[in-house]
Structure 1
Amino acid sequence: MDPNFIYHVPLIQHNANRRSRMEQLIPMVNRLQDVFTTMGARFDLDLPQIAVVGSQSAGKSSVLENFVGRDFLPRGSGIVTRRPLILQLIHSPHGEYGEFLHNKGKKFTDFNAIRSEIEDETDRMTGTNKGISRVPINLTVFSPHVLNLTLVDLPGITKVPVGDQPADIETQIRGMILEFISKDNCLVLAVTPANSDLANSDALKLAKEVDPSGLRTIGVITKLDLMDDGTDARDILENKLLPLRRGYIGVVNRSQKDIDGRKDIKAALAAERRFFMTHPAYQHIADRMGTAFLQKTLNLQLTNHIRQCLPQLRNKLQGQMLAMQKEVLEYKSARPDDPQRKTKALMNLVHEVGKEFQSALLGSNLSDVNLQVLTGGAKIANIFHERFPFELVKIEIEDKDMRKQIVIAIKNIRGIRAGLFTPDEAFEYVVQIQIAKYREPVIKCVDLVITELLSIIHQVTERMVRFPHLREESERLITQYLREREQVTKTACLEYVQFQLAYINTNHEDFIGFANAQQRSANESKRRLANQGQ
């Protein structure tokens, strides 16, 4: 035994205690994340986290499932992740299971049930029409096979709307992603497939917008096994092309064929290891590639990142605590069973919610303005002034096509007769067909505005989060009222379209060109008749 060992014991114990404290940093932030999600917008704290960004086909889901070692994320065509998923991985020797914040206390030992719960909870908030929501789902996975790690899985970047998705779905997703990754304490895990052009990577482009120096961005290159023969990603993985301060890590995920064939993740990880050990372009960096190394790297980087953010985090938390203590003092002398106090508190709360709703519609103060995405009234104004006109333009008929339809209608109305005058009926019939098409975009505009109003209501009632029954009843009553007005509004809009269909005024200034053309045609016919009489 080393005689100096006794002198090293305190140092060993110190290092062990330090590691133990460091390992508790991520679970501590997880608890804060859960608290702030529950409390809603009442607390605004920039927590250290890692956001996963990538296009739909980049392989984000496979990377996350490889960390857990289980299939548990929804899969399919189009946008699958439609709400942010805050995935908290906790190393635990006591079994393997998941827990949702919205279903606290229930352990999900079946990972297929976890997938179903994510799908159901997503549909509950967004509906089944592939819409998206900024409200996160918090999932904690306990397993002996994971390292402590927290990741925010964001919707995949898409270009083309599917199903009933709005035409601006790309803008919505982009806005949501920027809302997360613009925060200074957020590390960006930019996932890019190797079989695409790195210079055109959607994930890296977004990351560069908020992190131009590449200080907060970690690059992940997937699908290395799918590159064309004779090509490789060596320069990328060696950080020579588009360098990032935190570098790039390559991974090999299961293909869709592997997933359909039920190839388990353990076998896939072994195949991934063989790939890097045997590939001539990656052999020299094989120890710095793969899912296992990526997970260790993220664990270390997130832990160090939290440690660096702690002083600032502590100051902000203390500020929030002082504000809460001040609010508590206001209620210190109040009797909880005093009816007058209850009524006053209720009225104050309702008044505050009303003020926030009004502020959301009419605009925010300069100090509170959102610099990333349109919100509230601005979003509704955008629907009226940009989205609605865009929908109208889509159904407009080209002038030449309308002229052609009018000419055909005139000929069909005349039949075998040679007419001297242009019948109004031909013009009216074609215009009525066009006006009737306005019904769909008008109703769609109402739907979009109602959806945004309901979203605003959900946000402003977060002030009532301490009174869940009051909040639920308030939302129910307001939603019921909005739905009633929605039907009245739709009826009024359809009636207005019907009014326009009932009478087409061809003498209106909008149609003066048609009227003049009609008059010139009539005069020309009269002159021809007069000349024939001579």
Structure 2
Amino acid sequence: MCFNFIGIVTRCPLELKLKKTQHTKEWKGKIKYLDTVLELSNSSEVEEAVITAQNKMAGKGVGISHDLISLEICSHDIPDLTLIDLPGIARVAVGDQPEDIGMQITTLIQNYITKQETINLVVVPGNVDIATTEALKMAREVDPQGERTLGIVTKPDLVDKGVEEEIVDIVQNQKVPLKKGYMIVKCRGQTDINKKVSLKDAIQNERRFFEKHSIFRSLLEEGKATIPLLAELLTQELIEHINKSLPTLERQIKDKIEEANIKLEHCGQGVPETQEDQMRFLIEKITCFTQALSKIKEGEDVSVDIKKPKLFTRLRGFFNTWQAEIKHNESDVRDNLTEVCYFEYKYRGKELPGFVSYKTFEVIVKQQIEKLKLPAVEMLKKVAEYVQKVFIETAVLHFSNFTTFLELLRTTSMI
């Protein structure tokens, strides 16, 4: 992941896929954006193709777009590498830029650099204070340990005299440490671009610059300078990062496959074409459904969700509440027995001792039944609603792909 510090040259995320060819020296390119796929036959066509793509996606001018441009290049003299170039960070809007251009770019960059599988290249000009750069600050927010961040110092030819030693300290990872360290490169300047200096000549000029520089020459000797050495480092870093990320990626893929298999099992087999096979298929589906209901009824169902109680467990809770209500009513019954004993003592006629009249007994029993009636009805309602819920959930598991039949079961369960 590569994001610059200043200026907006890149106005859309640009994915650059470099592929090294082994048996041919032919240069080939392909650019994809929106619904457009364009073949490129020469490297000189790249710049115009990218500009055209950006203008179509972000409009002519200085606006940006979150849509990706994919540029694939195949050649014998390039490494196998994939980079994503992002717009440079802007603090204030200039010209026709929208007022929130800074926030737009920040959001776009964060969408990419927060991904743990990416390596972030923080591109910083050598003529600014790296410790205060916005790009490095953003990288540290998403990668505090600097494990995914590589610093790239540019424009060494613009470094003021007397400051070169500080740049050396930075590249040697002594000033603002990063675990992946720093590299320093000299790209083509605007003058070189205007003079149409080729990339091949620019790389040669870059190497001569570091070889002749009295201070920066040491960085070249340490393998920390020039674009070709940067490409080699990035290739090696990418290989190591892939190896490190593979176990996590493998686990994520297995989890996704398991989720997909569970969904496929729920879908079951496809509906047969012949009427006879369709009838047999329907009978099998209904049989599986009724068997599942039977297991739930017997308390033998296997629940996938361990946090969700079985039907028997939930119903037992309802009946335990009902039992508590009955026990609570016992005290009222004892009070009534006391009243019966007093009534028998005072008003007993020819009845045998211990026997009250039928009417008296009926009135007492009705009073107790009336007290238990409302709790009993409420308990029965809860049981019915929960059984209906389990019925519908089971139906969804077996007939989720058969909406009409599922709706029929829903309606039936509500009758």
Matched, 1:277 2:214: no
Pair 1:108–1:132, CA change in 2 (3 A): same
Pair 1:334–1:106, CA change in 2 (3 A): farther
Letter in 1 for 2:237: Q
Q: Which runs of 5+ in 2 are unaligned?
A: 274-415
Task: Give 3-state SS (helix, strand or coil) of 1:81's partner.
Answer: coil
Structure-2 residue corresponding to 1:109: 41
TM (norm. structure 2) is: 0.59
Task: Give 3-state SS (helix, strand or coil) of 1:89's partner.
Answer: strand
Instruction: Choose from 132, 143, 146 the match for 1:200.
Output: 132
Task: Give 3-state SS (helix, strand or coil) of 1:107's partner.
Answer: strand
Letter in 1 for 2:106: R
Correspondence list, 1:440-519, <5 A = none
Question: In structure 2, what is the Cα distance between the partners aligned to 1:109 and 1:332?
Answer: 49
> In angstroms, what is the RMSD of aligned CA positions?
2.6
Instruction: Choose from 207, 218, 235 the match for 1:299.
Output: 235
Letter in 1 for 2:5: S
Pair 1:91–1:169, CA change in 2 (3 A): same
Instruction: Choose from 286, 290, 293 the match for 2:220.
Output: 286
Number of residues of Structure 1 aligned to a counterpart in Structure 2: 267
Letter in 2 for 1:269: I
Matched, 1:317 2:253: yes
- 1:24-74 deviations in Å (ceiling 9; x for gaps): xxxxxxxxxxxxxxxxxxxxxxxxxxx1012235xxxxxxxxxxxxxxxxx
Pair 1:120–1:323, CA change in 2 (3 A): farther
Task: Give 3-state SS (helix, strand or coil) of 1:186's partner.
Answer: coil
Pair 1:297–1:179, CA change in 2 (3 A): same
Structure-1 residue corresponding to 2:62: 130
- 1:101-125 deviations in Å (ceiling 9; x for gaps): 4578753113343333323333333
- Report the CA distance between 1:88 and its aligned residue: 0.9
Question: In structure 2, what is the Cα distance between the partners aligned to 1:84 and 1:201?
Answer: 21
- Report the CA distance between 1:240 and its aligned residue: 1.1
Question: In structure 2, what is the Cα distance between the partners aligned to 1:167 and 1:104?
Answer: 30
Question: In structure 2, what is the Cα distance between the partners aligned to 1:312 and 1:237?
Answer: 31
Question: In structure 2, what is the Cα distance between the partners aligned to 1:196 and 1:164?
Answer: 26
Instruction: Choose from 153, 173, 193 the match for 1:259.
Output: 193
Higher-Rg structure is 2
Instruction: Choose from 76, 99, 108 the match for 2:30.
Output: 99
Counterpart contact for 2:122–2:136, Cα < 8 Å: yes
- Report the CA distance between 1:145 and its aligned residue: 1.0
Instruction: Choose from 91, 103, 108 the match for 1:171.
Output: 103
More helix by share: 1
Question: In structure 1, what is the Cα distance between the partners aligned to 2:147 and 2:113?
Answer: 12
Pair 1:312–1:162, CA change in 2 (3 A): same
Letter in 1 for 2:21: S
Question: In structure 1, what is the Cα distance between the partners aligned to 2:58 and 2:271?
Answer: 40
Question: In structure 2, what is the Cα distance between the partners aligned to 1:109 and 1:82?
Answer: 24
Higher RCO (CA-CA < 8 Å; seq separation 6+):
1
Structure-2 residue corresponding to 1:229: 161
Using the aligned pairs only, state the percent identity: 34
- 1:455-493 deviations in Å (ceiling 9; x for gaps): xxxxxxxxxxxxxxxxxxxxxxxxxxxxxxxxxxxxxxx
Question: In structure 2, what is the Cα distance between the partners aligned to 1:325 and 1:109?
Answer: 44
Question: In structure 1, what is the Cα distance between the partners aligned to 2:38 and 2:85?
Answer: 22
Counterpart contact for 2:188–2:202, Cα < 8 Å: yes
Q: Which runs of 5+ in 1 are unaligned?
A: 1-50, 58-78, 337-534
Counterpart contact for 1:89–1:146, Cα < 8 Å: yes
